[in-house]
Structure formats: structure tokens, C-alpha cells
Amino acid sequence: MEREYALETYQKTAEEIRKRYREFLGPYLTERAKQLEALVKTSMDLLGERMGEMGKEYVSYLYLSVLKTDLLFHRSRLFAHALDVRWYLDEEPAETDIDAGDLLDPLYRLWDELTEAARGSAGAVNRYDVQNLVFEELKALDGMVSGILRWRLRDWEAKGIFSGVTLAPCWMLKWGEYRDQTEMLVQTQRVEKEAGAWEKSLKKASRKPETMVFGYWYQETCQGTRAKEIDMRFTVFESCRLQDLAFDHCNLEGSRFVGSHLKDCSFSGCGLQGADFTGCRLEQVSFEGADLTDAIFPAEAVPFLHLDADQLQTVQLRREGEA
């Protein structure tokens, strides 16, 4: 009973400590966005070298993880591994690790503060209780890092982030615990889909809303359909032809239409925050009522898009040839 009471009292104190930690963590990681991108680049270069030593080619699954075992020893490492198309059945994944610098410092400060708070329990609260709380907060760190890198890595090809790794036509990069909770950062599927795949995916999305999130459409012709209130965050249309499409109040945050031809399309009331239309040809495309905060458009196309004054205040313009 003594431990039960002590643990209940401690958890109330710990909750306040964790709340302050999370408020600090967001700005801390945001300030290190470039550092996070550089860690990914370094990891991929080292993975590429390791793949060369192993004679391993065309990886399909890339993972970046902060290991719980490292937290136990207060080490700051980022673990990277690459698997081929066999995924978890790949018995010889390429693996490497790098020094993560000060990335995990907030976790270790939290650990120290939670340990100090436990000292008043006369041993009723032990180090395993503290450890489990820190492991829970690792999930918060993973989530925030993933949110930052999802945006930083969108231009991965122009930046050469994965130039050191031999990639399969279909591949993905995830961040999080190995074979446990992971979050998608980048996905590429440069292969032809079966006939009717676009229509089938829209139909499936009515039953499973996550179907279209992180979708990838490559050199596809999508036409004559209406999508209403569908979650399509971070969907990519690469070198596609989109014609006679209506996206009504869909969530297209972070979507990319790079190099695509859009004709007679409507994005009425859509969330297009950060959407990228670089290199697109836009004909009779309506963005009425759409949120275009930080959306990127070809500068030469904007005069013909009939954007309202508020939208023009929030979009970004990219001229031909600009990175």
C-alpha cells in the first residue's frame, strides 16, 4: 500500500515535469531542423558505404531509430538500417550508427529531474519507474522529429540526401522503434499502377480514411472523379496528368504535384498548406476557398490562377530554375 500511495503521488509530480519537458522539446527540435536533416544525410552516406562492403543493392526499407538500450547508458546515437524487398525476412540488413550530438539532451535532463523527484519516496519509487516514464517520452520525441523531417526531406532528390544509397524503384524511410511504432518520412513508388488504381483507392478511402495518406502516383492519368473530404496528406503526384478532378474539402497538406499537368481541376475548400506545384502546368484550375499557406507555385502561373488577396499573401513563388 505504501508503494501504491508513493507511486500515485510521484506520478502527479512527474506529470508536471513531463508537461514542462514537452513544452521545451518542440522549440528545441525546431531549432535543430537543419541538424536533423544533416544526421539523415550522414546516416544514408554511411549506409551506402556499408551496402557496398556487403554487396547489397536496391534497398526498399530504410529505418532510423533511437534505441532504448542507448537511453539506458545515456548514449546519444542514431541507428540506421536498410533492408531489401524481403523486408523483415532480410537476414542481413545493412546497419550503421552515428553520433546524434545534443539531440537527446532533453531526454537525459528529464531523466535526471524525474530521478531527483523520486528521491523523496524513500525507495518506494524505483529507477524502473523513472525509466518507463522516459521511454514513454521517447515516443513524443520520435513524433516531433518525424514531423520536422517530413518537411525537411521533401526535396530529398534535389538535396542529394539519399545519393549514397542504391534505392529500389519503390522504397520508404521511417523513423521510430524498430519493428514497433514507426512514422513515415518519405515514400517513393516509381512504378506503373494497375488500371483503375486511382478509382479503387478513392473508393477504399471511404472505408479506410488512411488509404490515401502518403499515396504516390507516378506518370498516371487520373481523370473524371470527385474526392470529398478525404485525407490525402503528403500525397505525391509525380509527372502525372490530372484532368476533370474535383477535390472538395480534402486535406492535401504537404502534397506534391511536381512536374504534373493539371487541367479543369478544382480544389474547393481544400487544405493545401505547404503543397508543392513546382514545374506544374496549370490550366483552368480553381483554388476557391482553399488554404494555400506556404504552398509553392510557379511564379509565371500565378496570374492565371485567380487567387484572392488573402491567398496571394500566403503562397510562395518559385521561378523556373530555382532550387
Write down the pLDDT at residue 4. 81
Domain 192-318 class, CATH top level: mainly beta
Stretch (H or E) spanning 37: helix 33-54
Residues of the chain with CATH 2.160.20.80: 192-318
Query: Is the pLDDT at 321 greater than 60, yes or no?
Result: no
C-alpha cell at 132: 518507463
The reply to whether the predicted model has a pTM over 0.85 is yes
> What confidence tens digit (pLDDT) does each residue in 33-45 have?
999 999 999 999 9
> What confidence tens digit (pLDDT) does each residue in 231-261 have?
999 999 999 999 999 999 999 999 999 899 9
Across residues 264-275, what is the average pLDDT? 97
Rounded Cα distance between 254 and 76, Å, is: 30
> What confidence tens digit (pLDDT) does each residue in 188-215 have?
999 988 989 999 999 999 888 888 999 9
Contacts of residue 121, Cβ cutoff 8 Å, sequence gap at least 6? 6, 7, 9, 10
